[in-house]
Amino acid sequence: MTDFIKLADDFYIHGQITQEHISQASSDGIKTIINLRPDGEKPGYINAQDAADVAKNNNVTYHHIPVAMTGPKPEQVASFKQTVQGCDGAVLVHCGSGKRAAILWALSNKGALTADEIISACANFGHDLSKLRANL
| Predicted local distance difference test score (pLDDT) of residue 3 | 87
Question: Which residues 6+ apart lie within 8 Å of 37 measured at CB?
Answer: 16, 45, 48, 66, 67, 94, 95, 96
Q: Is residue 131 part of a domain?
A: no
| Predicted local distance difference test score (pLDDT) of residue 1 | 56
Q: Is residue 119 part of a domain?
A: yes
Domain CATH number, residue 71: 3.90.190.10
| Predicted local distance difference test score (pLDDT) of residue 36 | 98
Q: Which structural domain range is residue 97 located in? A: 5-126
- Pairwise CA distance, residues 6 & 27, whole Å: 16
Q: Is residue 110 part of a domain?
A: yes
Low-confidence ranges of the chain (pLDDT < 70): 1-2
Q: Is residue 45 part of a domain?
A: yes
Task: Say what the pTM is.
Answer: 0.93
